[in-house]
Amino acid sequence: MKLIESQAKAIFAEAGIPVPVGRVATTPEEARAIAQEIGGRVVVKAQVPIGGRGKAGGIQLADDPEGAFRQAQRILGMDVRGYKVARVLVEQAADIAQEFYLSITVDRDRQANVVILSAAGGMDIEEIAEKHPEKVAKLWLTAGLGLRDFHIRQLAVQAGVPAELLKQLAPIMRKVYEILKSYDATLVEINPLARLADGRLVALDGKMEIDDNALFRQQKLAALKEAEGDHPLELEARRRGLAYVKLDGNVGVIGNGAGLVMTTLDMIQRNGGKAANFLDIGGGAKAEVVRNALEVVLSDPDVKSVLINVFGGITRCDEVARGLLDVMRSMEVKVPVVVRLAGTREEEGRRLLEGTELTPAATFQEAARKAVLAAQG
């Protein structure tokens, strides 16, 4: 479960992490009233649980209440990568002197929480790591030990955070760790954590992801999930009986078995790409299930290529191939589709796909590499 910014910031504020003054509005009139209360310059931000708001025009500055009214009028109702904006966050604009990145997330490979701190905030951590690798510090926490003061000092030095900020940074980092544990979160991110012109550290944006398997312990968050609703593609996939989760990348993924799909996501990332979704067709999937899966993935405008990775045990590769052929015959497929079939009736499946526009791959690594390259154009 992904929380929208205002929800994450409410949790931050309750924990004692400084956030800008602001409130959520659902109408332009409310946005104007909130801006009037705040006074001065404000920022109006679309509240959707996905990245890319800025590029879509969903984050705008306003100099006065009437400007906030106009910006809210523009943003409310707009589509941000499949999400219709129903509310905006109107908050005090910040006079930023420096931006930092801070997150704690779960590293599934190492089965440990990892703390990431950087003195180059304000952009995706992948972009930070690519452009400023020397400014990214990571530390994997030992189970039972947690986050200690010496960890914080070590990370601050490695990330190049000025020493005079440590007194403010340390309690913020401790509170982020407590939030991760208390809310069964798999990610708590502040980006940017900004040093303002007056020297204060403030969380200007926040992101949280909650483990769906732990929502029975988080009744308030579970109620939020039900009230907010899911991405339209997730709703459509559920209607078709598919296990689908929308992600932020551009490589569509279809596989059979949650473990194989998760491994496929990792392989895409290791090849320099990013998955657009998680979609598990399950064991023993018939042609109709494969057809439904591909139709859902192809209806995502973010998808620039598709990787279909099937290991046939109960699932027969020839059934998968027939489902793919049905889609290719019935709809215009505008993106490259890479297919790796292995296991039960793989030879029959491969023969069925010969001479089609589908891109075959003999190995897992080859399939991931081809899909990532295809998405990059």
Q: What is the mean pLDDT of residues 150-169?
A: 94
CB 123 within 8 Å of CB 102: no
Q: Is 263 helix (H, G, I), strand (E, B) or coil?
A: helix
Q: What is the mean pLDDT of the chain?
A: 89
Q: Which residues contact 89 (CB under 8 A, 6 or more apart)?
A: 5, 6, 9, 22, 23, 24, 25, 44, 45, 47
Q: How far apart are CA 12 and CA 20, in angstroms?
A: 11
The conformation of residue 301, written as its DSSP 8-state character, comes to T
CB 166 within 8 Å of CB 179: no
What pLDDT was estimated at residue 367?
A: 94
| 101 part of the active site | yes
Q: Residue 1: is its pLDDT beyond 90?
A: no
Beta bridge partners of 187: 105, 209
Per-residue confidence band for 44, with pLDDT thresholds at 50, 70 and 90: very high
Higher pLDDT pick, 103 / 355 = 103
What pLDDT was estimated at residue 228?
A: 56
Which string of DSSP letters, residue by residue, matches 122-160? Answer: SS-HHHHHHH-GGGEEEEEPPTTT---HHHHHHHHHHHT
Question: 132-136, 282-286, 333-337 — which is least confidently predicted?
Answer: 282-286
- What are all long-range contacts of 76-82, with beta carbons under 8 Å and residues at least 24 apart? 76/26, 76/27, 76/28, 78/46, 80/46, 80/48, 80/50, 80/52, 80/53, 80/56, 81/48, 81/50, 81/52, 81/56, 81/301, 81/302, 82/50, 82/231, 82/232, 82/233, 82/246, 82/300, 82/301, 82/302
CA-based nearest residue to 372, from 286, 279, 264, 294: 264
Same topology, domains 21-92 and 96-217? Answer is: no
Q: CA torsion 229→232→233→237, rounded to 10°?
A: 70
What pLDDT was estimated at residue 342?
A: 83
> 88-92 and 96-107 as β-strands: parallel, antiparallel, unpaired?
unpaired
Which string of DSSP letters, residue by residue, matches 334-374? Answer: -S-EEEEEEETTHHHHHHHHTTSS-EE-SSHHHHHHHHHHH
Q: Is 98 helix (H, G, I), strand (E, B) or coil?
A: strand
| 244 part of the active site | no
Q: Please identify which of the residues 5, 30, 83, 101 carries the catalytic annotation.
A: 101
CA atoms within 13 A on the CB side of 141: 22
Q: How far apart are CA 334 and CA 4, in angstroms?
A: 32
Helices 65-75 and 28-38: angle between axes, nearest 10 degrees: 150
Q: What percent of the chain has pLDDT over 70?
A: 97
Q: Residue 124: is its pLDDT beyond 80?
A: no
What pLDDT was estimated at residue 226?
A: 46
pLDDT tens track for 57-93: 999 999 999 999 999 999 999 988 878 899 999 999 9
Q: Dihedrals φ, ψ of 263, to 5°?
A: -65, -35
Q: Residue 229: is its pLDDT beyond 60?
A: no
Helices within 257-316 (DSSP H only):
258-270, 287-298
Tokens coding 242? 């598919």
pLDDT tens track for 274-324: 999 999 988 666 778 888 999 999 999 999 999 999 887 777 888 888 888
Q: What is the mean pLDDT of residues 351-355?
A: 83
CATH superfamily, domain 96-217, is: ATP-grasp fold, B domain (3.30.470.20)
Higher pLDDT pick, 134 / 222 = 134
ω before 192 within 30° of 0 (cis)?
yes
Domain limits of the chain?
A: 21-92, 96-217, 232-376
Q: Please identify which of the residues 189, 209, 228, 346 carries the catalytic annotation.
A: 189
> 206-210 and 185-196 as β-strands: parallel, antiparallel, unpaired?
antiparallel
Q: Residue 350: is its pLDDT beyond 80?
A: yes
User: Which amino acid is it at 180?
Assistant: L
Per-residue confidence band for 227, with pLDDT thresholds at 50, 70 and 90: very low
Question: 42-51, 234-243, 297-306 — which is least confidently predicted?
Answer: 234-243
How is domain 21-92 classified at the CATH fold level? Answer: Dna Ligase; domain 1 (3.30.1490)
Q: How far apart are CA 45 and CA 89, in angstroms?
A: 5
Q: Is 237 helix (H, G, I), strand (E, B) or coil?
A: helix
Question: Does the structural domain 232-376 have CATH classification 3.40.50.261?
Answer: yes
Determine how many CB atoms are found less than 10 A away from the CB of residue 219: 9
